[in-house]
Structure formats: structure tokens, C-alpha cells
A and B are shown apart, each in its own frame.
Chain A
Amino acid sequence: MKAVRWVLGIGGDLFVTAGLLLLLFVGWQLWWTDVTANRVQDHTVSTLTRDFAAGPKTGSGPATTEMPSKVPFGKAFAIVRVPRFGADYARPILEGTSRDILMDGVGHYTGTAAPGAVGNFAIAGHRTTYGRPFHDIDTLRPGDKVVVETKTAFHVYVVKRHVIVAPTDVDVIAPVPEEPGTQPTQRWLTMTACHPKYSAAQRYIVFAELEKSYPRAKGLPAGTLATPKGS
């Protein structure tokens, strides 16, 4: 009898412990990863901003596009600003889309176009956890602006539409989105995030097209980063 009570007691303790550990894991995943990732990403944005400001002046010449092939894997090379996500919203864009990279910011699909270039500048970000840079991706509406800042230029994209696709649907990051094999003539931006929230069953994809690139020296027109009204 005593043995039975002992086994039940230890077993119960183990179940309680397992439950507490699972709760702790949920807390870590949903809260702590945001805390640490936001700290890292804010710091990267500050560093990039300082770096961009200190860079060689390009004068008022045409806005150039950086070739991402020159950017080492995992290195931050741009800042993305989305007025719809808040006036202060700014996240670093790093080269590559591996798990480690997406913990430190928004990832640029290796091999896709450079910011502002003809083709498809495709980026991925977390919808939840790890700073959740694309948490509000479903609030983007056609006409909303997405600004990609690089060392030489501001590239202003305008949201056109969104789709929800299977995780394997790589056509969305083709040079012409959803038309693989077609020679691109337009300058696209594709954002990918998981969907629905707290799941990875599908992908939420937003397509935007370049409106205009402004040389860094010229700066962004006033009001570009104003929060859009309505929903």
C-alpha cells in the first residue's frame, strides 16, 4: 500500500512539473523571445542608421540599387519601415532567411532582387514571437506604403494585393510574383509571414510595387511615413 502511494505521489509530482515546464515554455516563446529579439533588432536599426548617415555621399545622382549578392549571409543591409505598423516601426533586413537570421530581423530571400531593382525583392518575417516584425501583415491594405532604406536610397513601395498560400508555394517570390519563368520588367516587393497567427500551416503574402526611389541625399518626401487612415 505504501509503495502504491509512493509511486502515485512521485508520478503526480512529475506530471505537475511537466505542466509547469510547458507553461514556462509558452511564456518563453510568446514573451521572452520578443523581449530579446526586439532588443537585438532595435540595436541593429540604430547601428544601420548611424552607418548609413556616415556613408559616402552619393550626391543627387540617380538612386542606385545594391546587389544583395555582395551582402554576406546574415548581414543587415537595409531598414524596412511600414507606416501602417506604426510611426516608429523600423526593422532591419538581413541577407538570408534561415532560422537564426529571422530571429534577428526580417530576412531577404537569397537570390531575389535587390531593393528597388527590377524583379522581386522578397523578404520574410515572423508573424509571432522573436520580435514579430510582420505581426500586423494582415492589416496592410492596397495603397499602403512600405519604405526600404538602404545606404544609398529610400525605396517606396505601394501595396497592391495579398494572397494566402501553401508553405511550398515558392512562385510568390519569383521575379514576377506567381509567374515563374516570366522575364520581369517591374520592381516588386514580396513580404511573407506565417498564417494563421501561432501556426505555420499557410503563408500570408503581400505584394507591393515600387512607386519611386529617392537618393539618400534628397531624402523622403514629407508625409511618406505618415500613418495611413482607415482600415
Chain B
Amino acid sequence: MNEGAGRGRLLPAASEGGPFVNADLLRKRAATAALLAGFRRQNMILVGLLFFTAAVAPALPFVQDWMATQASLVIIYILAAQGVSILTGQTGLVTVGHGGFLAIGAYTSALLAKYFAVDLSIDLVSGGIAAGLIGCVLGLIFLRLAGAFMAIGTLGFAFFVGAIVNNVPIFEGRDGIQMPHSHLFGMRLDDFGFYYVSLATLGLTTAFVYTLLRSPVGRAFRALRDAEKAAESSGVNRLFYRTLAFTISAFLTGVAGVLNANITGYVSAETYGDIWYSVDFLVATVVGGSSALMGPFVGGAFIVMVPFYLEQLADFAFILKGVVLILVLQFAPAGVCDLIARPFRDLRRKQLQRVQDDAAKTPPPALAALFSRGRQ
């Protein structure tokens, strides 16, 4: 028996951070680990570049106000799609009702702005929390649902929210609520100001989502998605993680809702009482693809830009969205992101293979170096 081993324990307990015993294995994994870390750095640089470009773009000469608004709209959809992707893509619970959470965020913001004239920063947090709480409750109510029934249940939820905003007087139904102009920390926001606020919010949420999904929590989500009983037998608490997924997912879409309300300064049951947002977000998730990070970006951009270019012919927008959706499903079912990323993935796989084959020949690195290189 290995020294220091207890029953079932190979070494001093894992929680104490015991070292490897096998130097050979260390050596082999070192190169692989370094390569994988390199891939992750590349991904982060790519996303960072995207944000950087977005941040400096307004300085370009041909950029006008309406572009900032349009870009903000894309950001809002990406944010909402991030919410959907956590629940559907990562935890496997299909939702066709996130328009409901968008509405909750939007109306929270509208009511706070109208009656209390609060700052946008408070709005964002409150709208997110309100949606998150309802999401938590919904997750508990729908605890035993799966698959198709979950989809229908969430669809029912979206319509329920719609029925409430249509009929409960405080929400002023189809007349809607006119909001005072949004301001952040006392400063009045113009189109570009709002754009930067949206971008910053997206930056925060993206960082959060990235961290979340790489952590054991993200692993627990995916385990529940792929093999629920096996996940439970491994110690994943179904109730806790499901509800957590719902809560986080609703929170993110709620925050998107706050931004959505503020971009027009007006909320009414006409837009929020419908299913269009809910199905749009699902389409964004499906078209964008299962990559939790980039999927929402691609999908969100798609769903907003299509109608934009067909502004005058809104009906054609519907038709085009439907046709593209069907084509994507038939020819690229894993989503557009997957399609684009495929050659890169193949390249990376070859690199990985080469590194693992070479590993036997390279000399072993120092043990300490392994743990200090930011390797996860």
C-alpha cells in the first residue's frame, strides 16, 4: 500500500493537494497541459480582441448614432442568449419561455425608473435579481420536468407573464410605461454612452459565464445534461444545480431585459406579452451552436441583424429567419459556431496528438513548475 494512503485513498487526501507520485505520468501530462492552456489563452485573446474592437469602433469616422443603438441591441440579444445557453446548452433543459424573464427585467426597470427614478446601475442589478428569483421558483416548480414537457412548461410560463403584464393594472398593459431617460451615476446617457454600458455589462457577464462553465459547477451542469442518474450517483445534487442553472439563466436574461427597456425608454405588453422574444432566443442558441462562449455571440448577432437589413420588409425578415433556421438545422445541426470552428478544432486535435506522441522523448519538467503555471 502506498505510504499515507487511507481506505480508498491513493495518497494523502486530494483535498490536501497531495503531489503526483509517478514522474513519468507528470512528464507526459506536462506537455499536454501546457498545450491545452495555450488553447485556452488563444480563446481568451480572441474574445478579448472582439471586445477591444467593439470598444474602439465608435472612434471610426463613418460611425453614427443609430449604429450604436443597433450594436446595443445586438449586445442585449447576446446577453439574453447567454442566459438561455446556460440552461439549454449546458444543463440540457430546453426553454422556450425566456421572454418571460426579459419582461420581468424590463418591467422591474420601468417601474423603478418611473416611480423611484433610480440609477441604471441599480436597475440592472434589481432587474437581474427579480428575474433570478422568479427563475429560482420556476426551477423548483419544474423540478421533475424534462425534455419536451420542460419546453412546453416554459412556453406556458412566458405566456403567463404576458397575461400578467397585459391585465394587471400596474403594468399598464398595451398602453405601456414611458420611462424617464436613463442615467448612470448621475450622468445622462446618450446612444454611445448606453452602448458602452451595455458592452461593459456583456464583458462582466461573459467573464462570469466563462469562469462558471469551466468550474466544477459547469461540470455538474453538463453531467446532469448528459447522464442525469450517473451525475447524481457521483454526488451532483439535482435539485440544487438545476435550480442554480435556472436562477443564473434567468438573472442574465433579466439584466438583458433591463437594457432592452432602457434602449427604447418604453415598455408595453405589446412587445413583452408575446412569444417572439422567447422563440428568438431559442433560435439564437440553436443557430449559434452549443459553444457556451461564442455560440450566443454568433446567434445573437444573427437574430438581430437579419431583421435589421430587411427593416422595411419585416415579413421577409420572418421568412428569412425561418429559412435560415431550417437550413442550419439540416446542414449544420451543431450550429454555425461549430461549422466555423471545425477546421480549428481539427488543427488543435492534431497538435494535441503530436504533443502526446512527443511526450515520451522530452525531459521531465520540475514538479513545482507544473503547479505554478496557472494551469487549471
Q: Do A and B come from one complex?
A: no
